């Protein structure tokens, strides 16, 4: 029996979709990350009950951090993306978290840069706040050891391929590290939106989309580019088609980044003998109007395929694939403190 709802939410479901495809389905993925990170900070004396935790978030990390603060008797302050919707705002308020939300924007770079500036302003005025640094601190990967153990327990020793959004590097990156402790050859396939600096697509614009949870306009300190074997860049229409097909074909109601990961995993599964596990990071509730209301316009996935490229300079929407080969970060994606 769990002591707190956060512990139950942190455990994903593993769903066999046949044809060598498995969905790692979270209600809200960053709960696993936030709970373990906060527990580590308390155990090491970095924070104490009653302290205030603060961070920037596009949505699901805000929820995870608010639950962790509630679980451990801490305060929580969120600098939120324009993408945070009314249901989440209300949950944060009732949980006792305070939220500063950025003005409306359809520009990923503007939204994230505003949040970074505001974080620094709040820290200047409140130096006693603890900045969680979800984009930079490796402690956010600690919670995924239990998830990797769950995958191995449920799937067994079958060779795996892992597919999912790159995000802050503390999800697919951490999962791959833990899975490779017993199977070093496990391939890791990262999913990115166009316009993200992390793997060099910042020169390409997809104005329809903010998948802030899997891409970034700023360098992230806890992304280890040398973990990734393959990269896929997915545009809005292709991700929408993936989300709709995942619900229609498999009854899994998941978010836009989940649809992108499913699209990629389905394509990769047809070309490998490994079982392909893809990450569905959250539910589809906040995408009802932007994605699922347009389900009749969704493309057939069999009509979609990636354009193979050799370098990020060749990127063109709506979908590209590149053998990354565990190479280092592009120069613009290297995080420098300060």
More confident residue, 39 or 119: 39
More confident residue, 63 or 205: 63
Confidence at residue 109, expressed as pLDDT on a 0 to 100 scale:
64
Answer yes or no: is pLDDT of 320 > 80. Answer: yes
Which element (helix H / strand E) includes 178?
A: helix 172-180
For the segment 272-307, what is each residue's pLDDT rounded down to a tens digit? 999 999 999 999 998 999 899 999 999 999 999 999
Do the Cβ atoms of 230 and 187 come closer than 8 Å? yes
Which pLDDT score is estimated for 253? 98
CATH number of 31-138: 3.40.50.1100
- CATH class held by domain 5-29+141-329: alpha beta
Closest C-alpha among 297, 317, 300, 293 to residue 266: 300
Q: What share of the chain is helix, strand, coil (3-state, %, to 5)?
A: 40, 20, 40
Q: Is the dihedral of CA 39, 44, 47, 49 positive or negative?
A: positive
pLDDT of residue 56: 87
Would you call 231 helix, strand, or coil by DSSP? strand
Query: Looking at the predicted structure, is the pLDDT value of residue 106 above 80?
Result: no
Tell me what the mean pLDDT of segment 119-141 comes to.
91
Question: Above 80 in pLDDT, residue 110?
Answer: no
**Structure confidence at residue 102 as a pLDDT band (50, 70, 90):** confident
Has residue 178 got a pLDDT over 70?
Answer: yes
What pLDDT score was predicted for residue 96? 95
* CA 20 – CA 268 distance, rounded (Å): 10
Q: Please give the pLDDT value at position 299.
A: 97
103 pLDDT tier (thresholds 50, 70, 90):
confident
Looking at residue 338, its pLDDT comes to 58
CA 90 to chain centre: 22
Q: What is the rounded average pLDDT of the residues 155-168?
A: 92
Domain boundaries, the chain: 5-29+141-329, 31-138
For the chain, the residue count is 338
Same topology for domains 5-29+141-329 and 31-138, yes or no? yes
Number of other residues whose CB lies within 10 A of the CB of residue 60: 26
Bridge partners (DSSP) of residue 282 are: 28
Q: Return d(Cα 66, Cα 60) in angstroms, integer.
A: 10
Sheet holding 188-193, edge to edge: 13-16, 21-25, 275-280, 160-165, 188-193, 230-234, 319-323, 307-309
Which residue, among 55, 75, 34, has the nearest Cα to 118 in the 3D structure?
A: 55
Reported as type and span, the H/E element at residue 131 is strand 130-131
């Amino acid at each position: 029996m769990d002591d707190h709802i956060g512990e139950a939410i942190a455990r994903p479901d593993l769903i066999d979709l046949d044809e060598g495809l498995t969905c790692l389905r979270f209600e809200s993925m960053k709960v696993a990350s936030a709970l373990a990170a906060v527990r580590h900070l308390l155990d090491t004396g970095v924070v104490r009950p009653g302290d205030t935790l603060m961070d920037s978030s596009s949505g699901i990390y805000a929820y995870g951090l608010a639950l962790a603060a509630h679980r451990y008797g801490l305060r929580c302050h969120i600098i939120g993306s324009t993408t945070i919707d009314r249901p989440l705002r209300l949950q944060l308020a009732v949980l006792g978290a305070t939220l500063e939300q950025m003005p409306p924007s359809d520009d990923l770079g503007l939204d994230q840069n505003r949040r970074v500036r505001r974080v620094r302003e709040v820290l200047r005025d409140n130096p006693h706040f603890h900045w969680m640094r979800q984009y930079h601190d490796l402690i956010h990967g600690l919670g995924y050891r239990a998830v990797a153990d769950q995958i191995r327990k449920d799937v067994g020793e079958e060779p795996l391929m892992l597919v999912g959004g790159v995000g802050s590097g503390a999800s697919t990156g951490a999962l791959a590290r833990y899975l490779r402790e017993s199977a070093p050859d496990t391939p890791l396939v990262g999913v990115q939106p166009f316009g993200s600096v992390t793997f060099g697509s910042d020169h390409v614009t997809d104005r329809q989309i903010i998948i802030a949870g899997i891409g970034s306009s700023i360098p992230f300190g806890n992304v280890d580019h040398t973990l990734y074997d393959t990269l896929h860049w997915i545009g809005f229409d292709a991700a929408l088609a993936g989300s709709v097909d995942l619900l229609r074909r498999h009854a899994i109601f998941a978010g836009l980044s989940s649809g992108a990961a499913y699209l990629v995993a389905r394509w990769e599964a047809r070309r490998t003998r490994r079982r392909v596990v893809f990450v569905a990071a959250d539910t589809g509730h906040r995408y009802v109007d932007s994605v699922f209301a347009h389900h009749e316009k969704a493309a057939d996935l069999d009509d979609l395929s990636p354009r193979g490229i050799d370098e990020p300079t060749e990127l063109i929407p709506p979908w590209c694939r590149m053998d990354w080969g565990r190479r280092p970060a592009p120069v613009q994606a290297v995080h420098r403190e300060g």
